[in-house]
Amino acid sequence: MSERWDIFCRVVDNFGDVGVSWRLARQVSREHGKRVRLWLDDLTVFAKLRPEVDPACDAHTVDGVEVRRLREPFTVDEVADVVVETFGCDPPEAYVERMAEREPRPRWINLEYLSAEDWVEGSHALPSPNPRLPLVKHYFFPGFTAKTGGLLREESLLRRRDEFQSDPGAQAAFWKSLTGKAPPENALKISLFTYAGAPVESLARSCRQYPGPVWLIAPEGTAAAYLRSRLTPAHDTIRRNDHSSGRRREVEVFNTPFLPQTRYDLLLWACDVNFVRGEDSFVRAQWAARPFVWHVYPTADNAHYVKLAAFLARYTEGLDRAHAAAVSGMWEAWNRRDDPPAPEGMRPGIADCWPAFMARREALAAHARYWCDRLAARPDLAAALVDFTNKLLK
Ligand code: TRH
């Protein structure tokens, strides 16, 4: 019988916890043949990613994975060979007690949050003996370097991406299904997925300077709600006559429904620039190999600025100084709460950073491809984790 894996996920907020846990469960089942149960304490989030799921039901089988509601008090039927808790969510107490009684002891993994900070390499794969029970938990850190657990990347992902990005028909069909029409030939297509406080309006305003049509696509969420509050409902156009060229400059804004997870990848692949957030969309934007801007999950202690700087230092490596400054400037302006115009000496805002970012679009597109290929040369996280748990047996 193939190994049984139990993966536990408790939703803190938003979609990422489930987004990451589901991708891992699906990949460990499909590509590594494990019998996987994914335990979620909130199935409504999962139903947003997989609309065919009825969140009122406690048990589902999706793509070969058993998806079960994590309900406390938890009734333990069977303890798995490998137990993964995501983001320090702690498996149910009753389950941990049974883990300690099981022979052989299960291998216990805590899948941590993604960070580009240097300390991650030193913490990756470290064991932590349980103070009370004869159990050892290992910390497994995703990351951008060889000394980390890598990133989630399913086997077929980059092949499917290349097929889609080289197929104008598939892209036109996607756009028609999403917006009811295909974008104008030379339209700049931008996807928007942000937290509250992102200077979305400044971006929309700055897009009016772009010498051609702009499509801003905001799936249901913070950015969409903000744009809707500032503009009219689902679809609107900010027009401006460019007297100098006599051409009409149009920024069309589309508030689309929240997309099923697999279709969200198509949006990232079809756009020219992607604004993403958190963790999972952040990684998917890198696999899309298109220029992107990251809205980091804000924390009260401002630690997210350290995370932002750590990733920017890695990402802009190999970029010439001016290009690197354009990327860092745009990302820092995007992560700054509400976007005051820059008084003297202050750091520039979106109105300055966006044109600088766009002026280097080709170079940044080449860099996005180079960065993606560099990451893709390393083992993906699911394969690294399976390999790690096999080594724990020895
Ligand atoms: O939703 P998030 O903000 O999740 C966050 C992060 O995980 C963060 O690390 C964590 O600390 C915080 O939650 C609690 O952003 P993230 O990680 O990008 O996850 C979004 C998921 O939603 C991702 O799997 C992509 C998916 N998605 C869709 O499936 N359809 C859509 O239309 C959109 C916009 C996103």
Structure confidence by residue, pLDDT tens digits, 64-102: 999 999 999 999 999 999 999 999 999 999 999 999 999
Q: Across-strand partners of 239?
A: 250
DSSP state of 265: H
Among residues 252, 279, 280, 380, which one is catalytic? 279
Q: How remote is the C-alpha of 160 from its chain's centroid? A: 18
Of 11, 13, 15, 261, the residue with max ligand 1 atoms within 8 A of its CB, to mutate for a pocket test, comes to 15
**Ligand 1 nearest atom to the CA of residue 22, by list position:** 24
User: Which pLDDT tens digits describe the chain residue by residue (394 residues)?
Assistant: 789 999 999 998 899 999 999 999 999 999 999 999 999 999 999 999 999 999 999 999 999 999 999 999 999 999 999 999 999 999 999 999 999 999 999 999 999 999 999 999 999 999 999 999 999 999 999 999 999 999 999 999 999 999 999 999 999 999 999 999 999 989 999 999 999 989 998 999 899 888 899 999 999 988 888 777 765 555 555 554 444 454 555 788 899 999 999 999 999 999 999 999 999 999 999 999 999 999 999 998 889 999 999 999 999 998 999 999 999 999 999 998 555 445 555 567 899 999 999 999 999 999 999 999 999 999 999 999 999 999 998 8
List, chain by chain if needed, residues with CB within 6 Å of any ligand 1 atom.
12-17, 19, 49, 113, 193, 219, 221, 258-259, 261, 264, 277-282, 297
The protein residue with its alpha carbon nearest to ligand 1, atom 4, reads 16
**Ligand 1 nearest atom to the CA of residue 12, by list position:** 14
For residue 122 the two structure tokens come to 């030193």
pTM listed for this prediction: 0.95
Q: How far, in Å, CA of 136 to CA of 130, rounded?
A: 6
Q: How far, in Å, CA of 111 to CA of 195, rounded?
A: 24
The C-alpha angle 259, 262, 267, rounded to 5 degrees, equals 60
Q: What is the mean pLDDT of the chain?
A: 92
Looking at residue 96, what is its pLDDT? 98
- CA 44 to centroid of ligand 1, rounded, Å: 14
Q: How far, in Å, CA of 154 to CA of 166, rounded?
A: 20
Q: Is position 279 annotated as part of the catalytic site?
A: yes
Q: Is position 155 annotated as part of the catalytic site?
A: no
